[in-house]
Structure 1
């Protein structure tokens, strides 16, 4: 009896140590992916901004003061730019260096106030990437700017967990929305006023479109391009990207994702690979946003 009790005590200790170590490792990995620019900001006077064309609709892709999901920001930005039919700008509360997940830092083209002055109206499209609300005071300007520009003439496009940022504004209350499958149950509890949909890659509710996880954001962005510029323009962008799943643009229904046993590899890698390999990514003029997002989003969480 004593030996059984001793075994159980040892087993419990081992489980606690392993689980505790794994939890610490996983949290550390997640936090490293959310690191923000903390150096003295260089002079930004000579940063080139794409020329504004008053004859084109304008797309504002949001950046938070702290950190923004790299894929959610770069991919829609590149896709709208590929059409050559829009003014496409990265905008943030302040025109200072902003961090994307994975370690890539970017400079917004305009601050919110500068964007408002330039346009004199709301942007035609606002892209809402996932922006973790780490500090309420620093995040508040993002929420307020989305709410300010939620007009009938503005399309709001949330990418992946950007639906959480959109739900945070209250603009999804009473509406249906999609988000990343791994967070949908949490958001059902956090925002019960929203009808969260699990079996669609994107949900379109009038001028609000929300996408599910990652590549579903490609479908949602192509849907917006198709609605505004025509199906041929959207197909052209998909072909330029070598995107193989255009059928989802026409019909977003899918089988709901659920956690599988194979996902344990992802969890174990992030929990117990404490000494991460540091890798550099070569940045050069003309670097492709799609390629950059693939590198920074994939290897940061590998």
Structure 2
């Protein structure tokens, strides 16, 4: 019995140190990826409205939304020039998209009503960090009103859970991100959740699978509302390599694998993760911005912060504000977009990931593999639901330093435990000899 107790104590000692240092690190890594808006931002620029065009809006919550879920549909719809496209929220204070990009919404819910005199034609619902919580009530109440008025809904990724929490998916087929589909099945059992497809069209509600599957769903909406040629042209405009004009192509349903433990090592033991400044510049593409903030952010191996000298307007008119005015304290600077803006002074090295050909995420995933490791880049692509079979990822195979740290801490815990046992044994022997 005493031997068993000793083994149990040593096991606890081996676990205690990694847990004591790793759990706070995980919380910190996730907090850095949580939406938060700091500082004061200007009001949004006045919107232009063409009453002859359908109106499409991307809704963001008071606690923000996932950056690619928000910006990719916006750019696709904007690139067609066939829609009035706006971002809407309960008010126009800045909201934070994941990765640390602060967006100034174009319109409030009331402002949209005043502008169009009724519901939008299309409402895009991205994933929100507080889905299912009372803080989403302004959004879910508004979604109910939009649906009752006849708006077409497009949920992106776990935006399907936002729509489900509004009661708008009961009795319908829908899909969402593979990581949380089982959770949504338990939480919203009245929904017929579908696996193994990039999007599901259920009439006036279209839902997409994880993150970049939202591109396929948005192109499908363009096909439905504008036409097949417009959808194909929009796919070419953003250089999306996986456009399927024949519908939602089936895909292998992703599942957690042993190699996915890489994200646990990165988040818990990546104590020296680099901090990258992402420079905001006028005219930058929305997907170009998303590719940097989402790729590095989803990896949990790199922290990002938006930097710049003031508010900027993106290619299709969104307003973003930086969180820092200089590159002080940053490891390097990334300048998204193909525009030739000068980098902030005093920063070295500076990267321009989008000066080459290809889809915006390609170069950023390749940089992630090069500067961290291939396993981290593959995990990130899996979370993004972006196929990388034809993309060359080169770099270290695995985050060995982050992997050995918990093992070293576990050994240290065992040695401490053995040392305590030795001290106790010595005390007992001392008492016996007296």
Correspondence for 2:264: 267
Please state how far the C-alpha of 1:160 moved relative to its aligned partner. Answer: 0.4
Q: Deviations over 1:8-56 (max 9, x none)?
A: 32122222432454333223211221141133x2442xx4234100000
Which of 36, 60, 80 pairs up with 2:77? 80
Please state how far the C-alpha of 1:127 moved relative to its aligned partner. Answer: 0.3
Correspondence for 2:32: 32
Q: Is the 8 A contact 1:220 1:249 kept in 2?
A: no
Q: Is the 8 A contact 1:160 1:216 kept in 2?
A: yes
Correspondence for 1:162: 159
| Whole-angstrom CA distance in 2 between matches of 1:91 and 1:100 | 14
Please state how far the C-alpha of 1:71 moved relative to its aligned partner. Answer: 0.6
Paired residue secondary structure (1:91): strand
Query: Is residue 224 of structure 2 the alignment partner of residue 232 of structure 1?
Result: no
In the superposition, the TM-score normalised over structure 2's length comes to 0.66
Please state how far the C-alpha of 1:135 moved relative to its aligned partner. Answer: 9.3
Correspondence for 2:190: 193
Which of 158, 169, 174 pairs up with 1:172? 169
Query: Is residue 119 of structure 2 the alignment partner of residue 119 of structure 1?
Result: no
| Whole-angstrom CA distance in 2 between matches of 1:270 and 1:50 | 41
Please state how far the C-alpha of 1:138 moved relative to its aligned partner. Answer: 3.9
Give me the CA root mean square deviation. Answer: 1.9
| Whole-angstrom CA distance in 2 between matches of 1:91 and 1:17 | 46
Flag the 1:64–1:249 CA change in 2: closer, same or farther, 3 A. Answer: farther
Please state how far the C-alpha of 1:248 moved relative to its aligned partner. Answer: 7.4
Larger radius of gyration: 2
Paired residue secondary structure (1:242): coil
| Whole-angstrom CA distance in 2 between matches of 1:135 and 1:173 | 15
Q: Aligned pair count?
A: 299
Please state how far the C-alpha of 1:239 moved relative to its aligned partner. Answer: 1.2
Correspondence for 2:333: none
| Whole-angstrom CA distance in 2 between matches of 1:150 and 1:8 | 57
Q: Is the 8 A contact 2:118 2:149 kept in 1?
A: no
| Whole-angstrom CA distance in 1 between matches of 2:2 and 2:159 | 55
Flag the 1:249–1:181 CA change in 2: closer, same or farther, 3 A. Answer: farther
Please state how far the C-alpha of 1:284 moved relative to its aligned partner. Answer: 1.0
Q: Deviations over 1:161-213 (max 9, x none)?
A: 10110110000011111000000011111111111111111111111001000
Correspondence for 1:14: 14
| Whole-angstrom CA distance in 2 between matches of 1:50 and 1:76 | 18
